[in-house]
Amino acid sequence: MSLRILLVDARVLTPDRDGGSARMCSLVRIFQQLDCSVSFVPSFPDSFPPFDDTLAADTRRMAELGIEMPAPGTGADAHLERHGGRYDVILLTGTFVASRHLASARRFAPQATIVFDTIDLHFLREYRGAKLTGNIPRLQAALTIKRVELAVARSADFTIVVSDREQQILREQDPPVTSWVIPFALDIRQGPGPDTRRDLVYLGAFSFDPNVDAMQFFVEQVFPRIERRIAGVTLHIAGSDPTPDVMKLQSRSVTVTGHVQALDECFNARRIFVAPLRYGAGLKGKVLLSMAHGLPVVASPIAAEGLPAEPGRDILIADEPADWEAQVVRLYEDTSLWMTLSAGGRTLVEKTYTFDVVSRQVAALVDAIEGRRHLPGTSA
C-alpha cells in the first residue's frame, strides 16, 4: 500500500535558492518513485520577503512535481484540522515548524506516523554561532532551542538527520530517539578539466547567517593573502538574496553575482570552490554539489563535517587564514592535486549521495513506517 504523506515546511519550497529546499524536492521525488503520494502545506499561509516575489513560479514548480497543495492562504493547523485523517505520514521539517505543528498533527491525525526532519541540528548550529561571537543571549537561545529540538525528536515516531555525525550527536544527547540518516541526493555532473578554469567561487543562500559570516571572514582575512600569491585571481560570491553586508564585500577582485540560474556554468568555469563556514551544522549541500560537478573543494572543518571524505584525496581542509592561503594556492597551482580531488570528490558522491543510494535509505524508512502502522495497537 502506498503512503499518503503530508509535508509541512515553513514556506513553499525554493530549490533554486537554498539547499534545504533542493534536498526536500529530491526526497519528494524519491517518495513518489516509491509509490507514495505527497501533499504540501506551509506553516505560514502568507509568503514573506524575499520569497514573495517568486511565489507564483515556486508554487507552479511544486505542482509540476506532482505535489498536491491546498488553496492559497491555508495554514498547516487549519489543513490538519480539516484533512488530517486522510494522511498516513506527517513529515514536519525543521525544529520551529515541527514544534509549531506537532500537537495539531497528533490531535487531528492520530492514525499518522509523525516524522521529524531536522534539516540540521539547529541547537548545534546556534551554539556554535554563540561560541564564535561570544554572544550570551544567543547562547541562552541555543539552549532553549536544544530543549525544544530534543523534545520534538522524542515525541516524533521517527527523526531524520542528514549525516552519521549528527546521528551520533543526537544519540549522545537523547539515546531513545529513533533516528534515520537520509542525506542529500544528487546527480553527477560532467565538467571540463582544469586548463580552462580560473578563480574561486562560493555558493550560498544569504538569508542564512552562517553564509554571510563565512564570506566576511574569507574576504577580510583570507582573500588578500591569496591575491598576493595568485596574480589576477577573482572571488565569485554566488547565491540568492545577498545582504547589504555581502554587497559591501564587492571590489575589483570580488564579484557578488546574486542568484544563479545556471549552476553548471557557475561551477564549470571556476577552479576551486571555497567553503569557509565558521559555524553551522548538518551536511553542506553546496560542498556536495561542487563535488558532484568535479570542482575541487577547500573547506573549513565545519563545512566538511559529516562527510566521509579523506583530506588530500577528496577534499582539502583549512581553518586559520594561513592554512587557507596555503591550501588554496597549493590546489590552484598543482594540476595533479586538482585532478585527484576532482575525481575523489565525484567518487564520494557516487558512492554515498546519488539518487540510487539515497533511495535505498528512504525505502528502508518507508518499510519501517509501514511496519509500525501494522503493529498491534496502531492504526493502518
Q: What CATH number is associated with residue 358?
A: 3.40.50.2000
Give the DSSP per-residue string, 106-145: HHH-TTSEEEEE-SS-HHHHHHHHHHHHT-HHHHHHHHHH
Mean pLDDT value across residues 113-125: 97
Residue 19, domain member (yes or no): yes
Going by pLDDT thresholds of 50, 70 and 90, the confidence category of residue 261 is confident
User: 285 and 366 in one domain?
Assistant: no
User: 224 and 177 in one domain?
Assistant: no
Q: Which of 13-17, 28-32, 173-177 has the highest mean pLDDT?
A: 28-32
User: 361 and 262 in one domain?
Assistant: no
Half-sphere exposure of 318 (CA within 13 A, CB side): 24
Residue 33, domain member (yes or no): yes
User: 130 and 167 in one domain?
Assistant: yes
User: 208 and 326 in one domain?
Assistant: yes
Count Cβ atoms below 10 Å from residue 209 Cβ, excluding itself.
14
Strand ranges, E, within the chain? 4-9, 37-42, 89-93, 113-117, 158-161, 179-181, 200-203, 235-238, 254-258, 272-275, 297-299, 316-317
Going by pLDDT thresholds of 50, 70 and 90, the confidence category of residue 380 is very low
pTM: 0.93
> Residue 181 has what pLDDT?
97
- 270, 199 contact by CB (below 8 A): yes
Q: Which of 221-235, 260-274, 365-379 has the highest mean pLDDT?
A: 221-235
User: 322 and 233 in one domain?
Assistant: yes
Going by pLDDT thresholds of 50, 70 and 90, the confidence category of residue 312 is very high
What is the count of structural domains for the chain?
Answer: 2
User: 72 and 22 in one domain?
Assistant: yes
Count Cβ atoms below 10 Å from residue 351 Cβ, excluding itself.
10
Between CA 196 and CA 20, with CA 259 as vertex, the angle to 5 degrees is 105
User: 53 and 38 in one domain?
Assistant: yes
Mean pLDDT value across residues 209-237: 98
- What integer best gives the mean pLDDT of the chain? 94
What does the alpha-carbon distance between residue 168 and residue 164 come to, in Å, rounded to a whole number?
Answer: 6
Domain that holds residue 283: 194-352
User: 244 and 227 in one domain?
Assistant: yes
What does the alpha-carbon distance between residue 380 and residue 375 come to, in Å, rounded to a whole number?
Answer: 9
- 258, 238 contact by CB (below 8 A): yes
Mean pLDDT value across residues 205-233: 97
Mean pLDDT value across residues 296-304: 98
Distinct helix (H) and strand (E) counts, the chain? 16, 12
> Residue 44 has what pLDDT?
83
User: 276 and 153 in one domain?
Assistant: no
User: 202 and 323 in one domain?
Assistant: yes
167 by DSSP, 3-state: which?
Answer: helix
Residue 378, domain member (yes or no): no
| Cell numbers linked to 31 | 517518495
Least confident window among 71-75, 178-182, 221-225, 255-259: 71-75
What does the alpha-carbon distance between residue 18 and residue 229 come to, in Å, rounded to a whole number?
Answer: 33
User: 81 and 210 in one domain?
Assistant: no
Is residue 70 pLDDT above 90, yes or no?
no
- 117, 93 contact by CB (below 8 A): yes
Q: What b/e readout covers 238-252, taking b as 16+ CB neighbours within 10 angstroms? A: bbbbbeeebeebeee
Is residue 375 pLDDT above 90, yes or no?
no
Mean pLDDT value across residues 91-113: 97
Going by pLDDT thresholds of 50, 70 and 90, the confidence category of residue 377 is low
> Residue 55 has what pLDDT?
80
> Residue 46 has what pLDDT?
72
